[in-house]
Structure 1
Amino acid sequence: MPRQSISFTHPNDEWLKDQVDSKEYSSKSEVVNDLIRQARKQQVQIDWIRAKLEKAEKSGFTSNTKQEILAQSKSGFNE
């Protein structure tokens, strides 16, 4: 696994220490890797929403109800 050397502000370092001290994580590296995984997952969701919005803008108006649009969006989000 590649190693990196990074610097943290004091408050961020304290927060990382707290996460390890609380036994939530076994190391600061584990915390940082989990945060990166979460950010990557969030970016996938943002990209999905952005693509849906762009598609919707190009498609024009719909006669679907709010409930139908919401149901379609929820069913497609987990794909």
Structure 2
Amino acid sequence: MIPARYANVLFGLILSGLMSCMVSGIATFRAAEAVDAGFPMLWLGAWLSSWAVAFPAVLVVAPLTRRLVARLVVRPAD
């Protein structure tokens, strides 16, 4: 098991991996069409390069997003 102190990094790794996989799959499908025999390798290449950008981006943007959300939501009175 992974120590709890790495939870934010693990969350960012999983989130960025899944999101970049989906987005790169859709973009590759639209650009190359799934009938292309090379589609899986095109998708894999697109996914890996996009994940390399998405993971550090998530680590930087997530704290900013949490602060923005905290300012935008109404908290219930105690």
Tell me, yes or no, whether TM beats 0.5: no
Structure 2-normalised TM-score? 0.40
- Relative contact order, higher structure (CA 8 A, sep 6+): 2
From the CA coordinates, give the structure whose radius of gyration is larger: 1
Structure 1-normalised TM-score? 0.40
Greater percentage in helix: 2
